[in-house]
Amino acid sequence: MVSVLVLSGCGSQGQPAAPTSLTEEASTARLVDPGEFAAVVDEPHRVTINVHVPFEGDIAGTDLSIPFDQIRSEAGRLPADRSTGLAIYCRTGPMSTTAAQTLHDLGYTDIVELRGGMRAWQADGRRLIGLDE
C-alpha cells in the first residue's frame, strides 16, 4: 500500500490524469438506450448523424451520414455552433464511440450516442429506413 501512495505522489501536480482506456475517453458522449435515443432524435435542434460504413440503413430523422473515420475531413458539414446537440449511431457501437471522441476533440459538447447501435434499435422493435425490402 505504501508503494501505491509513493507512486501516486510522483505525478505532476495540476494536471489531470490521462484516460486509461478508449471507454474512459468516450465518456464524452451520453450513452442512451433506443427509447431515449428516439426522443433525442425528435428534439428540434439536434443533428442526428449515422457514422456507420458501409451503409446498412438509417434511423428515421437522420440528418447526415458521415463515416466515423471521416468526421475530421467532413467537419465542414457539421454545425458551426459547437454547442449544437448531436445524436450519433452506427451498427453496433464501436464506430460511434470513435466518432464521439473525434466530435469531442473538435469541440462539440452535447453528444448523445445510441448504446448498441442499429442492432439494439431493431431489437427494440424499431425500423431502419433506406433499405430495399
102 contacts 88 by C-beta, under 8 angstroms: no
Residue with cell 430495399: 132
State yes or no: pLDDT of 94 exceeds 60. yes
Q: Which has more pLDDT, 93 or 131?
A: 93
105 contacts 71 by C-beta, under 8 angstroms: no
Tens digit of each residue's pLDDT (9 = 90 or more) over 97-113? 999 999 999 999 999 99
Average pLDDT, the chain: 85
* Confidence at residue 28, expressed as pLDDT on a 0 to 100 scale: 85
Domain 25-123 adopts which CATH fold?
Answer: Oxidized Rhodanese; domain 1 (3.40.250)
**C-alpha grid cell for residue 44?**
428540434
State yes or no: pLDDT of 22 exceeds 50. no
Tens digit of each residue's pLDDT (9 = 90 or more) over 56-83? 999 999 999 999 999 999 999 999 999 9
For residue 70, which of 78, 82, 81 has the smallest C-alpha distance?
A: 78
pLDDT band at 133 (very low <50, low <70, confident <90, very high): low
Through-space distance between the first and last CA atoms of the chain, rounded to whole angstroms: 61
Q: Which has more pLDDT, 12 or 46?
A: 46
pLDDT band at 131 (very low <50, low <70, confident <90, very high): confident
For residue 59, which of 71, 46, 72 has the smallest C-alpha distance?
A: 46
> What are the extents of the domains in the chain?
25-123
